[in-house]
Structure 1
Amino acid sequence: MCAAMSDDARPILFFDSGVGGLSVVAPTRAMLPEASIVYAADSAGFPYGTKSEAEIAARVPALLGRLAERYRPRLIVIACNTASTIALPAVRAALDVAVVGTVPAIKPAAEASRTRVIGVLGTEATVRQPYVDDLAARFAGDCTVLRYGSAALVELAEAKLAGEAVDPGAVTRELAGLFDQPGGERIDVIVNACTHFPLLADEMRAAALAGVSFVDGGPGIARRVAYLTQGQGWSHDSRAHQLVFTRLGEREERVGNHLRVQGFADPEAL
């Protein structure tokens, strides 16, 4: 490998509306410990799950264009199911950089299900997308696929990472949105179709019916990133990973405090 490649400081840019994408960063860092990371959260536009498709389709490509210009990443990961299912094609068309999206892990859920009833738990915007219909038809055609959109779980995950206590009853009430549907008592696998939800893994396991497992796309995305960057060099400097928000407030500062121990620098504003 040439010296220039081994000294390549270009980061991987992860993008989400909030902190949910950190559930994708973690397995990626485990596979690529030398990689330089920029984590960008659109805190000024949070949450995406309650916004219209038109708002997200306009906002995400514009923001990623600004981020790509500032940080010059080698690869962008849209670590948000809602943004990916709505804006991924537009982002890929607009930017001259590889872009990896996040899609609901319906295929592995269907492969793992014994009861043939699976739940898809995401934001309201994600679970209503035709893309989810297509995934269910292609990979879970013999399954009953129940869906539920939860804005509350997104807020709970954000609060948890900012150091706030999570009400177990609130998590139980949101999961009931799946389990209380006709046939919901037969669910044995739930797809975390929002990257925020793995941040509540302990609370959700405690609230779920017995025997229910959860799957998410984080490990698969990490493998894809590792494949796309295979053979590339990484800079061996000691700089901290970067954290950027589109709005810096008290909660974002608390999140920054939490991430400092994971090697991130103090948060900055876009």
Structure 2
Amino acid sequence: MTEPQAPVLFFDSGVGGLSILEPALKLLPRMPVVYAADRAGFPYGTKSEAEITARVPALLGRLVERYRPRIAVIACNTASTIALGSVRAALDIPVVGTVPAIKPAAISSRSRVIGVLGTEATVRQPYVDRLAAEHGADCLVLRHGSAALVALAEAKLRGEPLDPEIARTALRGLVEQPGGDRMDRVVLACTHFPLVQDELEAAAREVGAAPLLFLHGGDGIARRIDYLNGPSPWPEKPAPGIAVFTRMDPDIEPLRPELERRGLPQIELL
């Protein structure tokens, strides 16, 4: 049995993993949390596979050593599709990955045209090829990578003015591909993107897309954490959550209100 105050560790390159943390806390409100953002390595979506494979397991090893979590969640599609196996081999606790929600998109799509909107690194991964082949073999699976949409999500959480053209450009990258006019499901294959889902929904109407349903894996990951935790107790009153950054940049302080709103009042440097 795990100590009640042992936290669940959520890891991402930036604040995108907060979209995974929110449904987990909704299902498990007494869950202690450490949220780690690799600001020194941000953004992952433009990094090479070799860089991600070398960096992510080493960082998670340091985090696990310091915070002794019961479960680690890689709340990042890029890191999960590239380094999940390496992380699981390196750690002696359960590790949950975040992978594109292609299966539920394929199950629910009526037009049999699905968009996968992620980072450049995620959409080119063989892991995504396998998901598409296993779960969407009868679908046309379109892909587009957008680094600018990641930056938009970070800016939104800092309370900065947003350029709506960024969301429009990202969706045009799918809609303007052959068959894109029939697309009815879009998989948000970067954990940053649910944070700007409102902006994407507005953009979909403006670029002439068919009615779209956006999907991501947050609820499924919450259920997976609950399953892996099993009978281990949660504390009656969890300690305040901790947000850990690998580098203290000036733009971290503007994130404080959004971190506090998600139960992360304490900020630390790894």
| TM-score in terms of structure 1 length | 0.96
Q: Which residue of 2 aligns with 1:27?
A: 23
Alpha carbons 2:30, 2:234 under 8 Å: kept: yes
Matched position secondary structure for 1:115: coil
Structure 2 CA distance, aligned partners of 1:61 and 1:238? 27
* Contact 1:243-1:256 at 8 Å conserved across structures: no
Instruction: State the partner residue of 1:180.
Output: 176
The equivalent of 2:153 in structure 1 is 157
1:41 alignment counterpart = 37
CA distance in 2, matches of 1:165, 1:110: 35
CA distance in 1, matches of 2:236, 2:249: 32
Name 1:232's counterpart in structure 2.
232
Distance apart, 1:235 and its partner CA: 2.0
Residues 109-140 of structure 1: CA deviation (Å, up to 9, x unaligned) = 00111000000000000000001000000000
Q: 2:249 is matched with which residue?
A: 249
| SS of residue matched to 2:41 | coil
3-state DSSP class of the match of 1:102? coil
- Indicate the SS of the match to 2:39: coil
Deviations 1:194-238 (A, max 9, x none): 000000011011111241110001111111111111211112345
Deviates more, 1:8-17 or 1:223-232: 223-232
- 1:266 maps to which residue? 266
Give the fraction of aligned pairs with identical amino acids, expressed as a percent: 62
Distance in structure 2 (CA, Å) of the matches to 1:170 and 1:221:
28
Residues of 1 paired with 2:170 and 2:88: CA distance?
34
Secondary structure, in 3 states, of the residue corresponding to 1:195?
coil
Q: Which amino acid aligns with 1:117?
A: V
Alignment-derived partner of residue 82 in structure 2: 86
SS at match of 2:44: coil
Q: Show the counterpart of 1:63.
A: 59
Aligned length: 266
Q: Secondary structure at the match of 1:97?
A: coil
**Structure 1 regions of 5+ residues with no counterpart?**
none
Structure 2 residue 190 is the aligned partner of structure 1 residue 194: yes
CA distance in 1, matches of 2:238, 2:122: 38
Matches within 5 A, 1:119-134: 119-134=115-130
Q: Which residue of 2 aligns with 1:115?
A: 111
Q: Say whether residues 1:221 and 2:221 are aligned partners.
A: yes
Query: Structure 2 unaligned runs (5+)?
Result: none
How many Å separate the matches in 2 of 1:31 and 1:61?
Answer: 28
Q: 1:238 to 1:225 in 2, by over 3 A?
A: closer
Q: Report the Cα distance in structure 1 between the residues aligned to 2:136 and 2:263, rounded to whole angstroms.
A: 40
How well do the aligned residues superpose, as a CA RMSD in angstroms?
1.2
Q: What amino acid is aligned across from residue 35 of structure 1 in structure 2?
A: M
- Deviation of residue 255 (structure 1)? 1.1
